[in-house]
Structure 1
Amino acid sequence: MLYQRQLQYFQEALKSGRLSHAYCLVGPEGTGKLSLAQEWIELLNELNSEERDVNFSNGHPDIFVIKPVIEEKKGKIRKKDISLEQVQDGLEKISFFPYQAKYQIILIEEAERLTIKAANSLLKLIEEPTEKVKIFILSHNEEKILPTIRSRCQIIRLAPESEDKIRDYLQKKYSTETKAEIDAVIAISDGKVEKAEQYLNDRELREKMEEMRADFATALRGGKLTGFKLAEELGSNRTECLLMLDEAVSYLRKLLLNLISKEEQVRVIRKVYTILERAVLLRHQIATTNVNQRLQLENFFAQI
């Protein structure tokens, strides 16, 4: 079972009556924060895990999920920040007693995308907790959550799991999948269980990511035309651009570790490390600012 220590911690808190009113689960994207929070909430309210999809798509009267809205505008797909109105809507819904469950739940995904007004509205609830409400805040970037919110939550940090643990988990959950299929998705998932499940359930996405990784490897070996083609294809789609850069960073990290283990020449190691640094910086710029994606990608590949 994944994150056994964190699950055991919550079970003990539940049994002893020492539950926090607010939990903040933080860790890299894809590490299973949502799955763990859902499992905790199911334990808390004695819910059937087989009804998870319904319960956490605002189909349960006592569970309110708040997350960024995805919109398409002028051919570009982007996530909007979580607005004050979204948080206020959730707060309004918990102004009554629970309908079915023991606790009312507010579950906030990608909480780093809360606007300042939305975060301050949430802070008021956290500062004045009610006995029948539990709050679960999920974030890929702990530092972007208001310090006043973080300080009032029980922080649970998740790191990527080992390949062996993910393999065991996937083999039990997806018993009809072959070992080869499971090994293939693990190889490109970087210890991130949600990412592995996504690739296992969406072969088209997995093939696209494998193609992107192969194209990046070609560009890294000097195939600038391949790099410029990637820049052209991804220049107007931030979501896919960030996915490609995630794959690039993962590929470079593995390559760097492999070079170090083989005691490759320092010059080669330094070059790969420099490219890795630039890839991480580029991903951050595209994720947090309105830079010209295509131009930035072209500059990146031109300097490899």
Structure 2
Amino acid sequence: MDNFIGHDLVRSWVKAAVKSGALPHAHLITGQDGIGKSYLAREIAADILGVSPVKKYVDIIEYRTDKRSFGVDEVRDIIEEVNKKPFEGNKKVIIIYHGEKLTVQAQNAFLKTIEEPPKGIHIIITTDSSELLLDTIKSRCQIHKLLRLSKKQIKDFLRLHYPDLDEEMINLASAFSDGIPGRSEKFLKDEEFNNIRNITLKMLKDILTKDETLVIKYEQELAKYKNKEEDILNSLLSYIRDIMIYKDLENSKIIINRDKLEDVKQLSNMFSYSKLYELIEVINKSREAFFSNVSAAVTYDIMLLNMLEV
């Protein structure tokens, strides 16, 4: 049975291109975190080598970093690997995860390699944010944009990978996923992620008190979750989205955080639309600060102060 659900058009196109010998040598897979980019990258790599995607292979080389960026030194290591001959056959695949972490200098250093890799070498880059990649990089890649899965596909995914889940939990996880399978998995098994959800929900309640001591309290709380800035900001935005929808429609069926429905109802009576829009602006500015490598402590402090002023 195929354990990868969704993105059928992209997958079919790749398989047909491999079979006909017309597959481009460079690919950029874009889409939200958790949408399936890594799974697809490994499947494409396996298709190129003509092997099963389940196992690991010496000619599928994967690069990822826990740091905020890939610099020129890391790219030089990748280029060195690109120029080595395949170990087992006549093809080799290089996968770079989170390509948005490539600095501008690193992208420029990698440009020639993407444009003209050695024969038999294929390069796959995944990214959550294609706008952070240079146009010169994107123009040299076959771009695969992954879209959200349908409700049925998400539920099929959950039943396949979590056969012991009851229907109530499937419905909750499916609602929270918002069409992104990785979000449903975080909801089900990532304790740290669910701690972040609880903290950000309490933050939204507490900022209504206008108590400035909350800045230090929550800056210290959030600082415990290193490299989880996206999860924190996305959690805040998902609650705000639910609050706005409930204020407007009072329809619980389209709430993402359905397990927190009573909290969403309560907050919908406490926030005005104008305050919610201002909070969204504050959070988006915080995201820009993180992309600009402003320190987490400073960014959280400014964000919390601005949230209190809303």
Q: Distance in 1 between matches of 2:143 and 2:229?
A: 30
Cα pair distance change 1:269/1:294, threshold 3 Å: closer
Cα pair distance change 1:19/1:288, threshold 3 Å: same
Helix, strand or coil: the match of 1:23?
Answer: strand
Helix, strand or coil: the match of 1:256?
Answer: helix
* C-alpha deviation, 1:262, in angstroms: 4.9
Answer with 30-39 or 85-94: which moved more: 85-94
Aligned to 2:233: 245
Q: Distance in 2 between matches of 1:197 and 1:47?
A: 27
Q: Distance in 2 between matches of 1:223 and 1:297?
A: 14
Identity within the alignment, %: 25
* C-alpha deviation, 1:227, in angstroms: 5.2
> Which amino acid counterpart does residue 176 of structure 2 have in structure 1?
I
Q: Would the aligned equivalents of 1:215 and 1:226 in 2 still touch at CA under 8 Å? A: no
* C-alpha deviation, 1:225, in angstroms: 7.3
Q: Distance in 1 between matches of 2:163 and 2:250?
A: 37
> Which amino acid counterpart does residue 63 of structure 1 have in structure 2?
I
Aligned to 1:207: 194
Q: Distance in 2 between matches of 1:272 and 1:146?
A: 33
Is structure 2 residue 301 aligned with structure 1 residue 295? Answer: yes
Cα pair distance change 1:102/1:175, threshold 3 Å: farther
Q: Would the aligned equivalents of 1:62 and 1:99 in 2 still touch at CA under 8 Å? A: yes
The CA deviation string for residues 258-302 of structure 1, in whole angstroms up to 9 with x for no partner, is 33335999x933332222222222222234231513421331331
Aligned residues: 286
Q: Distance in 2 between matches of 1:127 and 1:23?
A: 11
Helix, strand or coil: the match of 1:209?
Answer: helix
Q: Distance in 1 between matches of 2:246 and 2:152?
A: 19
Q: Would the aligned equivalents of 1:190 and 1:250 in 2 still touch at CA under 8 Å? A: no
Is structure 2 residue 2 aligned with structure 1 residue 5? Answer: no
Q: Distance in 1 between matches of 2:208 and 2:178?
A: 22
> Which amino acid counterpart does residue 39 of structure 2 have in structure 1?
S
Q: Distance in 1 between matches of 2:248 and 2:278?
A: 14
Aligned to 1:184: 172
State the 4+ residue runs in structure 1 displaced beyond 6 angstroms.
none
Helix, strand or coil: the match of 1:169?
Answer: helix
Q: Distance in 1 between matches of 2:234 and 2:213?
A: 18
Alignment of structure 1 residues 1-304 onto 2, 5 Å: 1-51=5-55, 55=56, 60-68=57-65, 70=66, 79-202=67-190, 204-219=191-206, 222=209, 224=211, 228=215, 229-235=217-223, 237-262=225-250, 268-291=272-295, 292-304=298-310
Answer with 209-218 or 162-171: which moved more: 209-218
Q: Distance in 2 between matches of 1:50 and 1:178?
A: 28
The CA deviation string for residues 34-80 of structure 1, in whole angstroms up to 9 with x for no partner, is 111112222222333332xxx2xxxx321222222x3xxxxxxxx23
What TM-score, normalized by structure 1, do the two folds share? Answer: 0.82
* C-alpha deviation, 1:220, in angstroms: 5.7
> Which amino acid counterpart does residue 116 of structure 2 have in structure 1?
E
Q: Would the aligned equivalents of 2:107 and 2:134 in 1 still touch at CA under 8 Å? A: yes
Q: Distance in 1 between matches of 2:231 and 2:280?
A: 15
* C-alpha deviation, 1:15, in angstroms: 2.3
Helix, strand or coil: the match of 2:35?
Answer: coil
> Which amino acid counterpart does residue 17 of structure 1 have in structure 2?
G
Q: Would the aligned equivalents of 1:61 and 1:99 in 2 still touch at CA under 8 Å? A: yes
